[in-house]
Homo-oligomer: A and B are copies of this chain.
Amino acid sequence: MNRSSREIQIVAAIVAANKDLPSHVLIPPGDDMAMIDFGSSRMLVAVDQVVEGVHFITGTSMDLIARKAVARNISDVAAMAGLPIATLACATLPREMSQDIEAELLSAVRRWTAAWGAPLIGGDTTIHRTSSAPLVLSITVMARPRSDGRVLTRSGAKVGDILVVSGSLGGSFHSDGTGRHLTFSPRVEEAHDLVDRLGTSVHAMIDLSDGLGLDCARVIRASSAHCGCTLQARLDAGSIPCNAGVSIKRALHDGEDYELLAAIDPSAPVPTGFISVGKVVEKKVVGSPAVVLVTGDQEEDVSECGWTHE
């Protein structure tokens, strides 16, 4: 089974399960964060992990491991245009790790969560029983909606929308394990700036964790399901901002950029700091690719361009 088919199956299973959720679940699983009605408040919440050998290589510093684990979660908050409030950390540590290194990791988690306005308020630590087992660090992040109540999801893109990204893509993960995937800045400020300036003209948002093709397809599928029509994203090959020395193919595939992708109303100006990369159209044919890359009169299905951490 290819990745899209499997993801579509998983999403279908989530949607099916979501039907049984109680009414206090305002945004069910399937978006960057879930939202629940908490008495008289609404809360956004998500969990995301980094695993040794998957999200970072053995030998990465505790500081950068903690930074990445926290930053990935804060990036989810940015994608919803939320305001970070607090975090929990759950660490599974190699038995070979010394107490000093363990303290260094905890201290780094505390420092980075505080730096992004989401102080660490709890957690759990377990030491692996088996030797040479990978370090796992998961972070739960809690956030609140903006004071104007606006929360962005993946499912609001409409026919005619312009697709914009907040920065250059590709080349985040160097072959020696270093790179921007460890040092990126979550786009919380940019997200709020976008909503401050464009208000309800921002229709949908996601953070680019897995690659422009794959993440854009998620927006298109969620929005198609929401509007009951068949949408397609048409990305303009000439407009996609690539990092230095990175091909368009890699800009679409590499993932771990943690830039924002938003769908905005065509009547709204593309704000400074954002780059228009394409548009949303309606396809009359069910089964059309969710995302195509348009180069001159050529079209290529790029709905599977990206990578998953599985």
Contact = CB atoms under 8 A, between A and B. Distances in A.
A114 interface: yes
Contact of A142 (B20, B36, B121, B134): B36
A134 B119 CA distance: 29
B138 A134 contact: no
A310 B97 CA distance: 12
A62 interface: no
A166 to B, nearest CB: 23
Nearest to A88: B47
Contacts of A144: 38-39
Nearest to A50: B126
A138 B88 CA distance: 11
Instruction: Say what secondary structure dominates the interface of chain A.
Output: strand
A124 B48 contact: yes
B36 A121 contact: yes
Total copies of this chain within the assembly: 2
A15 interface: no
Given A39-B40, A85-B24, A120-B29, A92 B136 contact: yes
Given A45-B88, A46-B122, A128 B51 contact: yes
B45 A122 contact: yes
A53 B130 contact: yes
Interface residues of A, number: 56
Query: Taking each of A34, A88, A110, which has the highest tally of chain B beta carbons within 10 Å of its own beta carbon?
Result: A88
14 contacts: A17-B110, A20-B119, A24-B85, A24-B86, A33-B122, A36-B142, A38-B43, A47-B89, A47-B90, A47-B124, A47-B140, A48-B90, A125-B310, A128-B134
Interface in A41-58: 41, 43, 45-49, 51, 53-55
Name which of A53, A122, A138, A140 has the most chain B CB atoms within 10 A of its CB.
Answer: A122
Contacts of A40: 39-41
A33 B142 CA distance: 14
Interface of A: 13, 17, 20-22, 24-25, 28-29, 33-34, 36, 38-41, 43, 45-49, 51, 53-55, 85-86, 88-90, 92, 103, 110, 114, 119-130, 133-134, 136, 138, 140, 142, 144, 309-310
Given A20-B114, A129-B53, A90 B88 contact: no
B51 A121 contact: no
A38 B85 contact: yes
B126 A46 contact: no
Contacts of A142: 36, 43, 45
B124 A49 contact: yes
A49 B128 contact: no
A46 B88 contact: yes
Contacts of A43: 38, 43, 142
Contact of A85 (B17, B36, B120): B36
